A and B are shown apart, each in its own frame.
Chain A
Amino acid sequence: MAVTVLPFHVVNTMTGTKYARMIEDPAEYAHLIKRAVRPLLVIGTWALTKSVAGKPVIDYAVEIAKTLDIPICATAHTKKKLLEMGVEPASSYDIIEILNHLKDPEWKGVKKEGNHDLVMFLGFRTDLGEQGLSTLKHFAPHLKTMTLCKYYYPHASYSLPNFRKDDQWKEFLETLIKNLKEKEA
């Protein structure tokens, strides 16, 4: 598809032909998540250090996961914070390790029920995130990837736009959570 959106950070500008579908409507995101059979939420360290208009990103991550009981993969040292919040992540692979597993269509997934069909990412350095999404774009055609951070990620299957203001991101995430809590028609 043609693309006119560039990622916020110039280092992530992509040279290629297959770009993420940019989605601005939280209802559409919610629909994609609900449609997934085995979704997974992968949380990175920026979830610990960044906030969305004053609210820690990790709080949003947990709220999203709780809506549909989506399993969490806590990368780096995010597990400790999740445990302090009373949340037991389904796994604590580091980012490269979980990506390596996801590449294998026969992998049993973090709940040993089969590999995941939709993998959501929240809280990663954008450069590391882009590289990881590149791996999955090329080597994991059996799954879709979705980003929840406030920047456009060209290597994802589905990405948010570059939100100029945190309030826009906040509104998106809160509406998304609301939509996820609602039953599909």
Chain B
Amino acid sequence: MAVVEKKKNLRKEHVDEIIKADDKWEPVGHTPMPELPDLRNWDMRLLKTYKPFYAPMCDMCCFCTYGKCDLTGDKRGACGIDISAQQARVVLLACCMGMSAHGAHARHVLHYLIEKYGRDYKINLGDQILVEAPHIRTVVGLKPETLGDLEKAIEYVESQLIHAISSLHTGQEGSALDYESKALHISMLDHVAMEVADIAEIVGFNYPTSKADTPLVGLGWGAVDRTKPVICLIGHNPVTAVPIVDYLNEHGLQDKVEVAGICCTALEVTRYTDKAKVIGPLSRQLFFIRTGIADVIVTDEQCIRTDVTIEAAKVGTAVIATTDKACYGLDDVTKQEADHIVTDMVKQGKQALIFDPEKAAEVAVRVALELAPTRKKVLVTKEQVPEMAKNHRLCNLCSQVCPNLLPVGDAIEAAKNGDLQPLTEVFNKCIGCGKCAQECPRQVPILNMMQAAASWEEWNIRAGRGPIMDTEIRKVGAPIVLGTIPGIIAIVGCSNFPDDYNEVADIVEEFAKRKYIVVLSGCSAMAAGMKKDKDGKTVYEKFPPTFDAGGVLNVGSCVANSHITGAAMKVANIFATLPLRGNYEVIADYILNRVGACGLAWGAYSQKAASIATGCNRLGIPVVLGPHSAKYRRLFISRKEEDDWTVMDGREKKLVNTEEPSPEHLITVVESKERAIITMAKLCIRKNDTPQGRQLKLTHYIGLHKQYMGTLPDDLHLFIRKTSDIPIFFKKEVLPYLEKVGWKEKPVLTLPTLIGTYPSEVPIDAVVH
């Protein structure tokens, strides 16, 4: 025991030093800088209600040389692992990848900025944001004041990763639930890493902050002025994008060169300059590369086509890779003179790996200026399509390989006969992988033909705004917690959409007009802007950009997702005055029971999306996924009629069986947009809702259910605690329904909490504010 105690004290000393425990801005909670086991009991409590649901992608394990091992049914592998633990193991691996991607991004940005400005460079997010880093405050226990403090946070995140990855080795963890706990831990840290990255970028690159009305910027491949030299940025990390803009400005070229981006770097660079354009989500990457519109492609990290160099070379576009994560086998020319690199790229068609952002920026601009006049940018016309498709035979190999199951072959057959409409429909659902063209035995250039089928319309997107302001939280905190703002809907993630990309804008519109707060990020934020109403307005022009009822706001790129979860934490802190510092369980418990927020990752495809969503789950925020996401293998869902919905009444300090499945699931997959909308409205219901708030939430749940399902919800009785919860508008319908199902009033609850229902060092009083 003495050894254990000594180790514990040493650890405490280490933690106290890092988090500057003597600085008394808030009392230090129970879990500053938690390690893998420290929040395990919280996880197990969540997993008791929201049990893992597994859908194995593969029946075998092929991780070690004992295998391949067949794990079908109740079989175990040679190491002893079963199918559930193996699924959870793969999920943890995905979450580690996702968190590492954000963490390495953060580390890269920090390294660059610290080299430039030093560790003591101050963090200042403007006069409207005092709670600058809710994740770092809550998880690490540190109030970051400088870039050096952000570095401490990322060092802690990195330290946890090694333990989690270690557990993936053969002969380590054997429990699915424990793997899930580790996945929840790593994913919680993902939000810390994302917060580090985005704060560093805001202060280091002077992004807009403490404001809602960021500028509208051009969106769409049609928004790119191809009469100018075009630099296309692909990836997520703005470390090279920013110097490109600086170089253009310093040389008076800002109006002579077009800077545009695909995926999150586009959202980053448009935070730096509203002259830049957002070409579109990652599903348009290969499509755009093959147009040849870009004179130079600059890649950074994540979600870049790994064959970008090959594809770019085919259309004569130069490529500059800029990070250690994605070098593509290119020669490292960082130490060469810029003149020399430019000559090699222009005269010899070389592609370059340049780690120095300023040099990469100079080379990108100069190569674009020199190459552009020599290149022809001619798009495929409608008239050319039948000729391009003339060799097509309806073998359907293209349809068979389509990951989105689209009838590509039929569309090409129609195009061959001069009807482009089916190809347009396919394009609008296309995830842009190019497998169809690759598979074609007759080499029909399917993706190129889509140039003629695609809309070349120009849309608008609001530039990413970063954190939600404290003043906004002060205004909406009470209505969110009481339920009179029906919920926060966060539409995030990638563009692996199951159907037409317009569905995202439809979902935004449905919730915004019902006065939910709609928050967007990443490729979903782009898709939302790619639909205009009859007046020619996108959702960004129709709805206010404020974090308030009916607002539609884009926080920015993937790493800005931390501001969405951070806003929920700020509600607990600013409105409910709960301390954040090292107080994760209390904050997560507050959000789970009182903050009606729900995420939607309609087109999630990446490991980053897995860790972002799982991080939301540990924090008590449910997430709805599109149908492709069943391939993530794991969900956390309840069985509303059978499960135990007992919580502690924090004020009365007694257990209460609420019989109310709110929120019903932590992460689930739905099939259709319609079901997604209904599910999200339901997942915003919280046990803490006042009768007035519950009435409002049920008004939407019932209204949407009737709209899309044709009836009252089958489970409506589970969400009505007293007759005062029944929406007046539906009372005549609801009362007979309640009588028919034998509904009875449910117990009164003054302060719902899970604290006190599982082993924890946190006292129940900690949740009373």
Answer whether residue A163 sits at the interface, using C-beta atoms and an 8 A cutoff.
no
**B59's contact among A17, A96, A131, by CB below 8 Å, is which?**
A17
Answer whether residue B662 sits at the interface, using C-beta atoms and an 8 A cutoff.
no
The answer to whether A16 touches B405, judged by C-beta atoms less than 8 angstroms apart, is no
The residues of A that contact B710 with a CB separation of less than 8 Å are: 79-80, 83-84
**B709's contact among A45, A92, A101, A141, by CB below 8 Å, is which?**
A92
Answer whether residue A25 sits at the interface, using C-beta atoms and an 8 A cutoff.
no
Q: A79-B709, A79-B711, A134-B57 are in contact. Are A96 and B668 (CB under 8 A)?
A: yes
Q: Give bound CA distance, A110 to B640, whole Å.
A: 14
* Residues of chain B at interface, number, CB under 8 A: 40
For window 382-408 of B, CB contacts with A under 8 Å fall at 400-403, 405
Interface readout for A122-156 with B: 1 if CB under 8 Å, 0 if not? 00111110011011011101000000000000000
The answer to whether A16 touches B671, judged by C-beta atoms less than 8 angstroms apart, is no
Q: Which of A5-13, A59-67, A169-177 contacts B (4 or more CB under 8 A)?
A: A5-13
Q: Give bound CA distance, A104 to B641, whole Å.
A: 13
A77-B708, A131-B57, A138-B56 known, 6 other contacts, Cβ within 8 Å: A16-B70, A76-B672, A96-B637, A126-B405, A131-B630, A134-B56
The answer to whether A128 touches B671, judged by C-beta atoms less than 8 angstroms apart, is yes
Question: Taking the nearest CB of chain B, how far is it from the CB of A48, in angstroms?
Answer: 9
The answer to whether B72 touches A9, judged by C-beta atoms less than 8 angstroms apart, is no
The answer to whether A45 touches B671, judged by C-beta atoms less than 8 angstroms apart, is yes
Answer whether residue B635 sits at the interface, using C-beta atoms and an 8 A cutoff.
yes
The residues of A that contact B670 with a CB separation of less than 8 Å are: 76, 94-96
The answer to whether A138 touches B83, judged by C-beta atoms less than 8 angstroms apart, is yes
The answer to whether A138 touches B54, judged by C-beta atoms less than 8 angstroms apart, is yes
Answer whether residue A91 sits at the interface, using C-beta atoms and an 8 A cutoff.
yes
Q: Give bound CA distance, A99 to B669, whole Å.
A: 12
* Residues of chain A at interface, number, CB under 8 A: 41
Q: Give bound CA distance, A104 to B709, whole Å.
A: 27
Question: Taking the nearest CB of chain B, how far is it from the CB of A101, in angstroms?
Answer: 6
Answer whether residue A15 sits at the interface, using C-beta atoms and an 8 A cutoff.
yes
The answer to whether B671 touches A131, judged by C-beta atoms less than 8 angstroms apart, is no
The residues of B that contact A16 with a CB separation of less than 8 Å are: 58-60, 70, 72
Q: What 4 A-B pairs are tightest by C-beta distance, nearest first?
A: A16-B59, A131-B630, A80-B710, A77-B674
The residues of B that contact A44 with a CB separation of less than 8 Å are: 671
21 A-B interface contacts by CB (under 8 A):
A9-B405, A15-B58, A15-B60, A16-B58, A16-B70, A18-B73, A44-B671, A77-B709, A95-B669, A96-B630, A104-B639, A127-B627, A127-B631, A128-B671, A131-B57, A132-B630, A134-B59, A135-B54, A138-B56, A138-B83, A139-B54
Answer whether residue B495 sits at the interface, using C-beta atoms and an 8 A cutoff.
no
Q: A8-B400, A141-B73 are in contact. Are A91 and B714 (CB under 8 A)?
A: yes
The answer to whether B672 touches A45, judged by C-beta atoms less than 8 angstroms apart, is yes
Q: Give bound CA distance, A10 to B402, whole Å.
A: 8
Q: Give bound CA distance, A139 to B59, whole Å.
A: 12
Answer whether residue A97 sits at the interface, using C-beta atoms and an 8 A cutoff.
yes
Q: Give bound CA distance, A142 to B53, whole Å.
A: 17
Question: Taking the nearest CB of chain B, how far is it from the CB of A73, in angstroms?
Answer: 11
The residues of A that contact B675 with a CB separation of less than 8 Å are: 75-77, 94
Answer whether residue A51 sits at the interface, using C-beta atoms and an 8 A cutoff.
no
The answer to whether B639 touches A100, judged by C-beta atoms less than 8 angstroms apart, is yes
Q: Give bound CA distance, A141 to B74, whole Å.
A: 9
Question: Taking the nearest CB of chain A, how far is it from the CB of B22, in angstroms?
Answer: 49
**A83's contact among B56, B402, B711, by CB below 8 Å, is which?**
B711
The answer to whether B401 touches A10, judged by C-beta atoms less than 8 angstroms apart, is yes
The residues of B that contact A9 with a CB separation of less than 8 Å are: 400, 402, 405
Interface readout for B671-694 with A: 1 if CB under 8 Å, 0 if not? 110110011000000000000000
Question: Taking the nearest CB of chain A, how far is it from the CB of B393, in angstroms?
Answer: 14
The residues of A that contact B709 with a CB separation of less than 8 Å are: 77, 79-80, 92
Q: Give bound CA distance, A76 to B637, whole Å.
A: 16
**B630's contact among A14, A45, A100, A127, by CB below 8 Å, is which?**
A127
Q: Give bound CA distance, A18 to B56, whole Å.
A: 13
For window 480-508 of B, CB contacts with A under 8 Å fall at 498
Q: A14-B59, A77-B675, A97-B637 are in contact. Are A137 and B714 (CB under 8 A)?
A: no
The residues of A that contact B53 with a CB separation of less than 8 Å are: 96, 99-100, 135
The answer to whether A131 touches B631, judged by C-beta atoms less than 8 angstroms apart, is yes
The residues of B that contact A10 with a CB separation of less than 8 Å are: 400-401
Interface readout for B525-561 with A: 1 if CB under 8 Å, 0 if not? 0000000000000000000000000000000000000
Q: Give bound CA distance, A92 to B674, whole Å.
A: 14
The answer to whether A75 touches B400, judged by C-beta atoms less than 8 angstroms apart, is no
Answer whether residue B628 sits at the interface, using C-beta atoms and an 8 A cutoff.
yes
**A94's contact among B56, B59, B70, B679, by CB below 8 Å, is which?**
B679
Answer whether residue B330 sits at the interface, using C-beta atoms and an 8 A cutoff.
no
Closest Cβ neighbor of A99 among chain B residues: B53
Answer whether residue B55 sits at the interface, using C-beta atoms and an 8 A cutoff.
yes
Q: Give bound CA distance, A46 to B570, whole Å.
A: 42
Interface readout for B217-254 with A: 1 if CB under 8 Å, 0 if not? 00000000000000000000000000000000000000
**A125's contact among B59, B73, B627, B635, by CB below 8 Å, is which?**
B627
The residues of B that contact A14 with a CB separation of less than 8 Å are: 58-59
Closest Cβ neighbor of B676 among chain A residues: A76
For window 254-298 of B, CB contacts with A under 8 Å fall at none
Q: Give bound CA distance, A20 to B56, whole Å.
A: 16
Q: Give bound CA distance, A80 to B713, whole Å.
A: 12
The residues of B that contact A75 with a CB separation of less than 8 Å are: 671, 675
Q: A11-B403, A96-B668 are in contact. Are A128 and B630 (CB under 8 A)?
A: yes
Interface readout for A104-127 with B: 1 if CB under 8 Å, 0 if not? 100000000000000000001111
The residues of B that contact A100 with a CB separation of less than 8 Å are: 53, 637, 639
The residues of B that contact A79 with a CB separation of less than 8 Å are: 709-711
Closest Cβ neighbor of B83 among chain A residues: A138
Q: A75-B671, A77-B672, A91-B714 are in contact. Are A125 and B55 (CB under 8 A)?
A: no
Q: Give bound CA distance, A92 to B668, whole Å.
A: 16
The answer to whether A131 touches B70, judged by C-beta atoms less than 8 angstroms apart, is no
The residues of A that contact B55 with a CB separation of less than 8 Å are: 131-132, 134-135
The answer to whether B58 touches A138, judged by C-beta atoms less than 8 angstroms apart, is no
Q: Give bound CA distance, A83 to B402, whole Å.
A: 33
Q: Give bound CA distance, A134 to B630, whole Å.
A: 11
Q: A16-B60, A92-B709, A97-B637 are in contact. Are A137 and B671 (CB under 8 A)?
A: no
